Chains A and B, each alone.
Chain A
């Protein structure tokens, strides 16, 4: 997989749900939860970036399992995941386990891939 430049990466990650975590890292001005501007491929790519960031910060599927007992279903719906799942601290940012599980699964090609997100 070829990574884009940091600038173009920021433009993508600042726009999709769940990637509110990454803007924090780079000092974006506010959290963004919704965007309909991205197509399926771009969203999938952005989730992959978040997954890579989670792995880089020591979040593993095993850690998520320990936190939620495996109950947090992989999901791209951040709000629903915040509602239903316990939180995991990722470099201080508190994110729900179900959403993190989705991002990690999609970032690991060797793993069975979760279903693609539906675009509203």
Chain B
């Protein structure tokens, strides 16, 4: 059953066994899993079936950060959520990602990798990339001695699947509509979560449509699945009984917010032999959409006490790897910010060496592209590292006093790359350079070495837009908002689903893990509902 709350002349109250708030990857997966339970499921979606400016504008937030992607661009607020624009890279997280690592403060999941593996199996069918992992053997055999050499140097080749990518709203709407026990209500915005006076459970939700007509939803269980930022905001906004918001007795709701910073870290100049082998590997997998990348082995991460990160090898033209162009940007930034440039002579030398490329780049900005130029020639493999960010309590979601069009307090994101994260990146780059050099595979030019103005972590920084950690899971209520089953600590019937429950984020895009943890939650809820 599909109801558009905006078209109802009179809003009525709703009753369900399970109310799911949010129609993204987590919410839709949970609803699909619950079809067989024959319990009445109500799925609330704040947007409609297609994007509208009215709905999308509710994602506007203040941002306090040297650089962070606008929250109206990184997320989509309509049925299917951000799966409507995801890239489709899926892989399980590594076993080490779930461990409590002594060198990563606040790390450690309340569940293990092996515990989640069966759910990954089921998750991969939802994202249409079953079986769980690609068969890496032909790829690794093909790489032959290079694989052994990288292994010896402490790095491993990896493959990840590419989902079509599955747009959950489009792909699964028919199946949900056909289910007699599922009601989907669109344009149903969550206004508040209403706790009982003794704070032990949630009694109801208040929702409203875009005409500000409100309704009450009563259910036995509630699951908040609004996304990595909005999950925290929804709990913070519901502070009528618990000061500071539901589950926020220890001030943790909104804290430890993480993303995957993608950093232009280095240019790798491999030997010709390696390039030939790598390109043949690409041809081998042309018919199957895999991503190929390198990551530090588990032993390397332990030995050097580093968080996880992904090293993607992408051949780049000289225009993208020119240090002269980068030096010109460094000087431009230093002048505009009136800051000293310690290596000014070195930058001037770089500009002089690449003056033809700089001129060409300038001409290209005016739409004048030469037919043949050095700028398009091979310029090495540009490596953009997707980093695991250390959980940092200062990275957080808070509420402001500004109200959105529904009258709710707007959120603010505090986000930064901490000095320790920057140091991790430097150490990882050095480690990769040493490993590649010692194995005779090539040499490395570090972009960090050229950076005098912090451009690496500002202008050049891009994002996975994977919002995680703001309602983290832990056995201990002093260290997490939800428990191992994703139930808010101290509350009997409210759960949180999605990447906001991840205590750490690995370097792996989160969708497969969101779906896997949600299926696990569904199994848990089925027991309680029956």
Contact = CB atoms under 8 A, between A and B. Distances in A.
B275 A94 contact: no
Main secondary structure of the interface of A (DSSP, over half): mixed
Contact of B450 (A27, A31, A92): A92
A27 B374 contact: yes
Given A30-B269, A94-B445, A25 B438 contact: no
A79 B446 contact: no
Nearest to B350: A91
Interface stretch (A42-50, A81-89, A101-109, A112-120): A81-89
A82 B434 contact: yes
Given A21-B443, A31-B270, A91-B350, A82 B438 contact: yes
Given A94-B437, A94-B444, 9 more contacts: A24-B269, A24-B445, A27-B374, A29-B378, A58-B346, A89-B446, A92-B323, A92-B449, A94-B429
Nearest to B347: A91
B445 A31 contact: no
A64 interface: no
Given A27-B377, A92-B450, A94-B449, A87 B323 contact: no
Interface string B119-145: 000000000000000000000000000
A93 B350 contact: no
20 contacts: A24-B445, A27-B374, A27-B377, A29-B378, A30-B275, A31-B442, A33-B271, A82-B434, A82-B437, A82-B438, A87-B433, A91-B323, A94-B429, A94-B434, A94-B444, A94-B446, A95-B437, A95-B443, A96-B434, A96-B437
Interface string B199-234: 000000000000000000000000000000000000
A83 B439 CA distance: 8
A27 B318 contact: yes
Interface in B341-359: 346, 349-350, 353
Contacts of B271: 30-33
Contacts of A54: none
A65 interface: no
Contact of B379 (A27, A34, A82): A27
Interface string A5-40: 000000000000000110111010111111000000
B447 interface: yes
A100 interface: no
A111 B12 CA distance: 91
List of 6 A-B pairs having minimum Cβ-Cβ separation, nearest first: A82-B437, A89-B449, A83-B438, A94-B433, A82-B438, A31-B269
Nearest to A56: B349
Given A31-B271, A82-B438, A83-B434, A94 B379 contact: no
A71 interface: no
Nearest to A82: B437
Contacts of A20: 269, 442-443
Contacts of A83: 434, 437-438
A82 B378 CA distance: 25
Interface in B441-474: 442-447, 449-450
Interface string B162-187: 00000000000000000000000000
Interface string B246-287: 000000000000000000000001111001000000000000
A57 B343 CA distance: 10
A23 B267 CA distance: 13
A32 B274 CA distance: 11
Contacts of A27: 318, 374, 377, 379
B300 interface: no
Contacts of A25: 353
Contacts of B15: none
B297 interface: no
B74 interface: no
A30 B353 CA distance: 18
A66 to B, nearest CB: 16
B445 A93 contact: yes
Contacts of A95: 437, 443
Contacts of A29: 272, 378
A94 B443 contact: yes
A57 B447 CA distance: 16
Contacts of A58: 346
Contacts of A34: 440
A79 B270 CA distance: 14
A87 B430 contact: yes
Query: Which among A27, A29, A31, A57 has the highest number of chain B CB atoms within 10 Å?
Result: A31
A87 B435 CA distance: 11
A92 to B, nearest CB: 4
A95 B353 CA distance: 20
Interface string B289-330: 000000000000000000000000000001000010000000
Nearest to B354: A27
Query: Which among A21, A83, A92 has the highest number of chain B CB atoms within 10 Å?
Result: A92
B434 A91 contact: no
Interface in B372-431: 374, 377-380, 429-430
Contacts of B378: 29
A23 B245 CA distance: 60
Query: Which among B353, B444, B447 has the highest number of chain A CB atoms within 10 Å?
Result: B444
Contacts of B440: 33-34, 79
Nearest to A85: B434
Contacts of B444: 93-94
Contact of A93 (B349, B377, B443): B443
A88 to B, nearest CB: 9
Contacts of B443: 20-21, 24, 31, 93-95
B379 A92 contact: no
B238 to A, nearest CB: 51
A33 B21 CA distance: 58
